[in-house]
Amino acid sequence: MSDDLDLTLALTKRRKAIFITGIAIAIAALFVLSIGFRYLPLSLLERLFYSRFIFWGVAVFLFFYAVKVEKQPLLIWEKKNSDASFFIIAVFVLYLISFACGIVSAIPRLLGFHESDAVIKLVRKILTGHDGLIIFMSLTAGVTEELIVRGYIMTRLALLIRNPYLAIIVSAVLFSALHYSFQSLQEFIFAFLIGAVFGLFYLKYRNIKILIVVHFLIDLISLELATHLLKK
C-alpha cells in the first residue's frame, strides 16, 4: 500500500516537473529570443516581421512537447459545446469589453501621468502602407499568444498551484510583460486587463477559438486605424 502511494507521489512530482519545464522553456524562449532580435543588424520593419516566427516556433514546440513529453493534447481543457450564435455574440461582447479595458488603461494618462509614445508611434509609422504585415502580425498574435499564454501556460499553472484564478492573474501579468517592448504603461495595463478577461472567459467556456478571433480583431483593427490615420 505504501509502495503504491510512493509511486503515485513520484509520478505527481515528475508531472509537476514536466509542466514547470514546459512553462519555463516557453517564457524563456519568448523573452530571450525577442530581446536578442534587438541586437541583430535588421531594420525595425524586418525585426517586426522575423520576430513573429519566434511565437510560431514556441507554439509548435509546445504542441509537440505536450504530445510527446506530457502525453496529452496542447489544449487540456475540454471545449464546451457552443453554437454559431454564441460564437458571434461572444466575439462581439469581448470586443466591446476591450474598449472598456482601453478606457481604464488610459486613466493614468487622464490623471496627468505622462509617458513616451515614441516606440508605439514609430511602429505605427513603419507599418503604414504594409497591410499584409499588419494582417500577419495580428494573425500571429491572435493564434500563437492565445495558444501559448492561455492554452498552455495558464492551464498548466492552474494544475500546479490548484487555483485557476491565481493562474489567470499570473498569466495576465505574463501577457502584459510580452508587450514590454512598447515601453508604455497604458499598453501594459491594457494587456493585463485583456489577459484577465480572456483568462476568465477561457476558464468558464473553454473556447480558445473565440479568443483567437477577438485577439486578431483587436490587433488588426487598432493597427489598421492607426496606420491609416497617419496617412492623413
| Distance from the first to the final alpha carbon of the chain | 76
What span, in angstroms and rounded, lies between the C-alpha atoms of 185 and 117? 10
Q: What pLDDT shows up at residue 97?
A: 97
Contact 121, 182 (CB under 8 A): no
Alpha-helical regions (H) of 65-178 = 84-105, 107-110, 118-127, 131-140, 155-161, 164-177
pLDDT per residue as tens digits for the range 31-66: 887 777 777 888 888 888 988 999 999 999 999 999
Q: What pLDDT shows up at residue 230?
A: 58
Contact 49, 9 (CB under 8 A): no
- By C-alpha distance, which of 109, 128, 111 is closest to 45? 128
230 SS3 class: helix
Q: DSSP secondary-structure letter at 33?
A: H
Q: What pLDDT shows up at residue 231?
A: 56
CA-atom Rg of the chain in angstroms: 19
Q: Which residues in the chain show pLDDT less than 70?
A: 1-11, 230-232
Helix axis angle for 118-127 and 131-140, nearest 10°, is 120
Q: Torsion angle, CA of 117/118/121/125, rounded to 10 degrees?
A: 180
Question: Structure pTM?
Answer: 0.91
Q: What pLDDT shows up at residue 10?
A: 47
Q: What pLDDT shows up at residue 113?
A: 79
Q: What pLDDT shows up at residue 119?
A: 73
**Other CB atoms within 10 Å distance of the CB of residue 37:** 15
